[in-house]
Structure 1
Amino acid sequence: MTHGKDPHMTPAVTAADLAPTTYAWQIRATGLKVRAGRRRMAVDGLDLSLGTGVHGLLGPNGAGKTTLIRALATVVRPAGGGLELLGTPVGGTGGTGRTGGAARTGDQRALRRRIGYLPQEFGYYKRFTVREFVEYMAWLKEVPKAEVPGAVQRAVERVGLADRADARMKTLSGGMVRRVGIAQALVNDPAVLLLDEPTVGLDPAQRLRFRELLQELGLDTCVVVSTHLVEDVAAACTDVVLFAEGRLVFQGTPDELAAAGGPEDVGDSPLERGYSALLADGGRERGTW
């Protein structure tokens, strides 16, 4: 008589379970430089390492947040320095990179299959239903065909749109469209999730649910959320990255951010006062504020 598991049963082990983890950080930038347009260096010598958890990317308008997110999403190429995502070097100019050169085309495609990305503004087909659009994005991300229906249903449910799955995109409110954008970013179950201003258009109740979703995702995913809403960072993020003029100003916990400010600093909350104090200090050190 045998006890426990049947010795003849094959354990459910996926290729991902067997693949070795060869990187210490999901995201690692070393002296990273990224241009916005031809001339302006929007990211200028950034050193940053991010692992599992929810990382809030804060900074004033024009700080370079969106350019950094686009580089992490492999939409734009680094102009210099090094960038690794999931242990894979992301292509730059070749001469100044510190990561050993650009990824091969096959590596880049494999890497993109493991990234979820919601840009600040994303395009969609208005005549598609919610389900059709998320299915289309799953196809673009090369989700195996047999897994697409389940992956789409899970993604739609996670953003609270199961009851609107068969509604056409053109009938949705702005907040619902944003939630579809989050669903398409989740559909491939990414190891790195990049969200640029994801709460734009969400009402207060939707923002609360989104914060809960972020906390769930951060248990086993590297999530980077670019936002100008300090309170969203406080509620959902394990780590705060403060970015200004293309450079890292601060990295730490929300509590550490709050402790950086005082009653004399601008803001309606401890976090906002810490944010203001750190930006002012960083600006004085560089002589540009």
Structure 2
Amino acid sequence: MTSGREQHMTRAVSAADLAPTTYAWQVRTTGLKVRVGRGRMAVDGLDLTLGTGVHGLLGPNGAGKTTLIRALATVLRPAAGSLELLGETVGGVADHRALRRRIGYLPQEFGYYKRFRVREFVEYMAWLKEVPKAKIPEAVQRAVERVGLADRADERMKALSGGMIRRAGIAQAIVNDPDVLLLDEPTVGLDPAQRLRLRELLQELGLDSCVVVSTHLVEDVAAACTDVVLFAEGRLVFQGTPEQLAAAGGPEHVGDSPLERGYSALLADSGRNGGAW
């Protein structure tokens, strides 16, 4: 497997990379509202800015994390407020195909043809993302190497374990060297060693991109993320560094670590109970 430094040096350069940057933040929302179904506003008046780095998205079940990730992936359109990605306003009837070429997205559950080999699956996703044909083989090889699947690249998806399928999903998300990378629960099914490697990969990717990671695992946030976004009932509760999150809690708060106690304290202060049973 190539080193993080070598991977950084071989990153493909596109016309978008050479174009002047005209935005201050890769992600900016103002009063963002996103509806799920006909009634519930799962994201409700969110003001948020995210730049280059790894941003951990935390929150209890039902907080709206997945809805926010889907909105950032342009799968869901805003019901109100504004959403800007890479300087482009998302919403209305605009065609966002060019923008989607610059986004990588791993949903909690993703579809694939079980008879596809790993390499074929990632190639197919690269084609959908309109990676130039001549660059696809190199881009696919680099992606499968970065997730540790180079030795399984010619195996069929149906033969893989759950953790390997998740890693194949991460590979398709990064095959286009995205400027914004959205990962919804990427550590599901990964063993401890694989989680450690994913943390290293996230840190590498965060050098050049805006990486948003939704997770329930607070320790992953501490190890990989440059900042933390705490989300509850569709609203922003906290945004700051892992150290600031840890400092928000005390011995009297629920949790096995300073980060977990800070998480509990902030939810309690905001009036949310964190999804008590």
**Same structural fold, with TM-score higher than 0.5 when normalized by the shorter chain:** yes
Q: Which runs of 5+ in 2 are unaligned?
A: 1-11
User: Would you say 1:175 and 2:157 are equivalent positions?
Assistant: no
- From the superposition, tell whether residues 152 and 14 of structure 1 become closer, same or farther in structure 2 (CA, over 3 Å): closer
Shift in Å at residue 15 of structure 1?
A: 2.5
User: Would you say 1:283 and 2:271 are equivalent positions?
Assistant: yes
CA distance in 2, matches of 1:162, 1:284: 44
Q: Identity of paired residues, percent?
A: 88
**2:54 corresponds to which residue?**
54
CA distance in 1, matches of 2:234, 2:65: 8
2:126–2:172 contact (8 Å) kept in structure 1: yes
CA distance in 2, matches of 1:173, 1:13: 34
SS in 1 for 2:202: helix
Question: What amino acid is aligned across from residue 74 of structure 1 in structure 2?
Answer: T
C-alpha distance after superposition, 1:36-90 (max 9, x if no partner): 1110000000000000000000000000000000000000110000000000000
**1:32 corresponds to which residue?**
32
Large movers: runs of 4+ above 3 Å? none
Q: Which runs of 5+ in 1 are unaligned?
A: 1-11, 93-101
Q: What is the TM-score when the length of structure 2 is the normalising length? A: 0.92
Q: How does 1:141-152 map to 2 (within 5 A)?
A: 141-152=129-140
- From the superposition, tell whether residues 233 and 83 of structure 1 become closer, same or farther in structure 2 (CA, over 3 Å): same
**2:191 corresponds to which residue?**
203
**1:45 corresponds to which residue?**
45
Shift in Å at residue 17 of structure 1?
A: 4.4
**2:143 corresponds to which residue?**
155
User: Would you say 1:88 and 2:88 are equivalent positions?
Assistant: yes
Q: Pick from 94, 105, 111: which aligns with 1:123?
A: 111
- From the superposition, tell whether residues 167 and 14 of structure 1 become closer, same or farther in structure 2 (CA, over 3 Å): closer
Shift in Å at residue 188 of structure 1?
A: 0.5
Paired positions, count: 262
- From the superposition, tell whether residues 202 and 14 of structure 1 become closer, same or farther in structure 2 (CA, over 3 Å): closer
2:104–2:182 contact (8 Å) kept in structure 1: yes
SS in 1 for 2:154: coil
Q: Pick from 227, 242, 245: which aligns with 2:230?
A: 242
User: Would you say 1:227 and 2:234 are equivalent positions?
Assistant: no
2:232–2:272 contact (8 Å) kept in structure 1: no
Question: What amino acid is aligned across from residue 148 of structure 1 in structure 2?
Answer: I
CA distance in 2, matches of 1:201, 1:247: 28
SS in 1 for 2:271: helix
CA distance in 2, matches of 1:145, 1:36: 37
CA distance in 2, matches of 1:284, 1:218: 30
- From the superposition, tell whether residues 284 and 109 of structure 1 become closer, same or farther in structure 2 (CA, over 3 Å): closer
C-alpha distance after superposition, 1:206-261 (max 9, x if no partner): 00000000000001100000011100000000000000000000000000000000
CA distance in 2, matches of 1:199, 1:228: 9
SS in 1 for 2:130: coil
Q: Pick from 255, 259, 275: which aligns with 1:267?
A: 255
Shift in Å at residue 16 of structure 1?
A: 3.1
CA distance in 2, matches of 1:179, 1:87: 30
SS in 2 for 1:283: coil
C-alpha distance after superposition, 1:116-141 (max 9, x if no partner): 00000001110000000000000000
- From the superposition, tell whether residues 218 and 14 of structure 1 become closer, same or farther in structure 2 (CA, over 3 Å): closer
User: Would you say 1:164 and 2:152 are equivalent positions?
Assistant: yes
